[in-house]
Amino acid sequence: MPSEEKLSSYLNKSKLISNSNYAKKIRIAILGGFTLNGLEETMRVKCDEKKIQCTTYVSGYNQYNQEIIDEKSQLYKFSPDITFLIIDCRNVFGELFLNPYSLSAEERKQFVQTKSDEIINLAKTLVKKSNSKLIISNFSIPSYSPIGINETREEFGLHDMVRSLNQNIKIGLRLEPEIFIYDLNSFVSKFGEHNVFNYKQFFYGDIRISLDYIPYLAQELMGYVTAVLGLIKKCIVLDLDNTLWGGIIGEDGFDGIKLGDDPIGRAYVEFQNNLLALNQRGVLLAINSKNNFDEAIQVIKEHPNMILKEDNFACVRINWNDKVANMKEISDELNIGLDSMVFVDDDPVNIEYVRSNLPEVASIQMPADNCHNNASNLKSMTAIFDMLKLTDEDKARNTMYLEQRKRAEFKTQVGNLENFLKQMNISVNIKNADDFTIPRISQLTLKTNQFNLTTRRYQEEDIRKFSQDSKKIVECAQIKDKFGDNGITAAYIVNKDNEQQWTIDTFLLSCRVIGRGVEDGILSHIIEKARKDGISQVRGEYIKTEKNQPAENLFVDFGFKKEGDFWIFDTNDQFKKPKHLVIS
Amino acid sequence: MTKTLFEIVSTVMNIPIEKISDISGPNSIPDWDSFNMFVLLDEIEKEFDVKFSLEETLEIKTVGDFRKKLEEGNK
């Protein structure tokens, strides 16, 4: 686990934050049921380090109820993007926390039910009255019990009460799109109740998360901030020797490397299992290793203890080329920006080399002592892949990239692009924004950087509002071909300005379907729709960013004419609708 | 000990070390509120490897009080 700086160092740094004007901005509110001084300062420093401009609001001590219920409260005036509500059992149970057995089991059940409902209502009220996402902490199950060893025999005892409270709020809030439960109970388990809760600090200033652990808490909460802003890592690029297995294949040979069956080898098997789990939830894996290809690939294909198989890797670079050059190639092949990539290597020289040449890549050095560190090291790695919602597309992403590899092979076989596209049997299925597609449309606007005309980022609640607006069209497209289903990989938002004119607010394509004429197909669909509604012109903008060069020529190639900042298409004009795909 | 003590006070309270003396406390140091006082206590405990009781903590009002407590502990 990476160690944290002292709280005082964050407090000092927070005083030095200058009013920089970063592109990424976030407004954070912190509501606490006890003293959380220092958390706000630490989060501001951590945001500043990530070039996020952060404005904060901290509610008065233990004022969370009033702040949420009162529509005119400072909280709502502040208008946060994200609110952290951190309360504990003492807030909810009051004195009953210390003497729960003054009530009967039946009364205890009733009490927990009432309290759960109160918390669930409070959480729902906050998101209803604001545009904020809410992160609410769950409750740490105490190790203490007034009845000691009999706690585990008691019907609905103190520990059951807390467990049940956690379970109730999880069930009650699980499907709320703007509410997320932060697992504070796991946080306390990870660091230990005796460390996180310090009686002196508690009695002195009602501090219930001790000063040493505030920076760790801030670090975990940052995961939500980066996820809301769409700063997500998508791919782990791995070295092989002393990273996926112990030892060096070129020296130790197939039978000499350490992988399973011995203490050191077990650590690597565990690490591979962790990576496999990440892969299954949609994080791509790639290899960047200096080795003889044949020797190394033999291990991947044939070693009995290899957990990751060849098909788990979306891209493989095993050669003697420069690691930075390999990184760039992997980024190109996968169509993933370097800033969405994580590089893992055991060699500090490689890490430094990649770090200095490609600072946008998150480079992580494998700890020298893998036995102790690799699983927990990876835990901190999983946090940087956290997004607020795992969609079905995420879970199926690996299969999609495999299909992509097969498409590329097929393309080289067929040779010419036109023939290739004809034989691909591409179908574009246009879908309305509904409960199933809204999370994905929002995710696409937050994540798509390359084929994105305007790069406007929209949260789920924005998309939901747009979809109910009769002056807007919000749609997306599911794209299939002979190799498989690419999922929902295109989306667009059109504003119906007036009787004559529509404006394309957003138009984007996930990188894995670029270059197949899908964009022209969807654009023709929009023009045809406009024609049917008697609209005479459709216009759009291309807002240039560092990354959206792939979308630059969409309008000109299709036949739009530039007028000022806009590209205009007269719906009476002819256009070439791509013939190789079916739009439905 | 004085040097280290003053250095910690200077960092935590965000004040130049020259402005610190034994009588420094909430009246002379603007950042010395109850929370920063507690951060200071925490850092001093760690640096000098001591633990003050809750009672002792409440008796401390100035930098000089910290020094006295630390000297008592060294006896």
Write the CATH number for A181: 3.40.50.1110
Percent of chain B, pLDDT > 70? 95
Same domain, yes or no: A181 and A240: no
* Nearest chain B residue (CA) to A214: B39
Quick check: is A406 in a domain?
yes
Confidence (pLDDT) at A379: 52
Q: A345 and A436 share a domain?
A: no
User: Is residue A542 assigned to a domain?
Assistant: yes
Q: Nearest-CA neighbor of A43 among A33, A35, A53?
A: A53
DSSP state of A98: T
At A169-225, the pLDDT tens digits run: 999 999 898 999 999 999 999 999 999 999 989 988 899 999 999 999 999 999 899
Question: Can you give the pLDDT at residue A557?
Answer: 87
Q: State residue A69's pLDDT score.
A: 92
Q: Is residue A501 assigned to a domain? A: yes
CA A144, A147, A152, A154 dihedral sign is: negative
- Reading the block at residue A379, the tokens are 């835990």
Q: Concatenate the DSSP letters of all residues of A263-308 into one string.
A: HHHHHHHHHHHHHHHHHHTT-EEEEEEES-HHHHHHHHHH-TT--S
Taking residues A476-498, report their average pLDDT: 89
Q: Write down the ipTM of this complex.
A: 0.87
- Tell me: pLDDT of A389 over 90: no
Is there a single domain that holds both residue A288 and residue A413? no
Q: Say whether pLDDT at A375 is over 50.
A: no
Q: Choosing among A199, A211, A212, A214, which should be mutated to test the B contact, i.e. which has the most B CBs within 10 A?
A: A211
Q: Is there a single domain that holds both residue A465 and residue A377? A: no
Based on the fold, state whether residues A274 and A147 are members of the same structural domain. Answer: no
Determine, for residues B39 and A35 on separate chains, whether the beta-carbon distance falls below 8 Å.
no
Share of chain B residues as helix, strand and coil, in percent rounded to the nearest 5:
65, 0, 35
Residue A528 lies in a domain: yes
Percent residues over pLDDT 90 in chain B:
47
Question: What per-residue confidence (pLDDT) applies to B31?
Answer: 87
**CB pair distance less than 8 Å for B34 and A6:** no
pTM above 0.80, yes or no: no
What's the burial of A441, exposed, middle or buried (CB within 10 Å: 0-12/13-18/19+)? buried
Q: For residue A1, tell me if it sits in a domain.
A: no
Residue range of the domain that includes A263: 235-383
Alpha helices in A358-497 (DSSP H): 370-383, 392-414, 417-423, 438-447, 460-468
Q: What is the mean pLDDT of residues A354-363?
A: 89
Task: For A426-445, write each residue's pLDDT tens digit.
Answer: 888 999 898 889 999 999 99
Residue B63 has pLDDT above 80, yes or no: yes
Specify whether A403 is located in the same domain as A525: yes
Bigger pLDDT: A288 or A486?
A: A288
Instruction: Note whether A198 contacts B: Cβ–Cβ < 8 A.
Output: no
Q: Delineate the domains of chain B, giving CATH numbers in brackets.
A: 2-74 (1.10.1200.10)
Q: Which of A338, A354, A383 represents a domain boundary (last residue)?
A: A383
Residues A368, A406, single domain; the answer is no
Q: A161 and A256: one domain? A: no
Residues A224 and A240 in one domain: no
Question: What is the rounded average pLDDT for all residues in chain A?
Answer: 88
Residues 6+ apart with CB under 8 A from A114: none
Rounded CA-CA distance A105/A111 in Å is 10
Angle in degrees, 0-180, between the axes of helices A7-16 and B34-48, rounded to the nearest 10 = 130
Instruction: Report the CATH number that the domain containing residue A289 is assigned in CATH.
Output: 3.40.50.1000
Q: Say if A483 falls within a structural domain.
A: yes
Under 8 Å between Cβ of A209 and A38: no
- Contact A204/B54, CB-based, under 8 Å? yes
Tell me: the pLDDT tens digits for A404-417? 777 777 666 665 66
A203: left (phi over 0), alpha (psi -120 to 50) or beta: alpha
Does residue A298 register a pLDDT over 80?
yes
| Structural domain ending residue among the three candidates A228, A243, A260 | A228
> Would you say residue A522 lies in a domain?
yes
Segment A438-470, tens digit of pLDDT: 999 999 998 888 899 999 999 999 999 999 999
Contacting A with CB below 8 Å, chain B residues are 11-12, 14, 34-36, 38-39, 42-43, 54, 57
Which of B14, B34, B39 is the closest to A7 by Cβ?
B39
pLDDT (mean) for A375-395: 59
Last residue of a domain, one of A324, A356, A383: A383
Amino acid (1-letter code) at residue A222: M
Whether A266 and A211 map to the same domain: the answer is no
pLDDT band at A481 (very low <50, low <70, confident <90, very high): confident
Report the domain count for chain A.
3
Tell me, yes or no, whether A392 lies in a domain.
no
Residue A339 gets which letter from DSSP?
A: G
Q: Tally Cβ neighbours within 10 Å of residue A136.
A: 22
Q: What is the pLDDT of residues A60-109, one digit of tens each?
A: 888 999 999 999 999 999 999 999 999 999 999 999 999 999 999 999 99
Structure tokens at A242: 């002393």
- A470 and A336 share one domain: no
CA–CA dist A37, A201 (Å, integer): 12
Task: Please indicate, yes or no, whether residues A311 and A460 belong to a single structural domain of this protein.
Answer: no
pLDDT of the residue at A121: 95
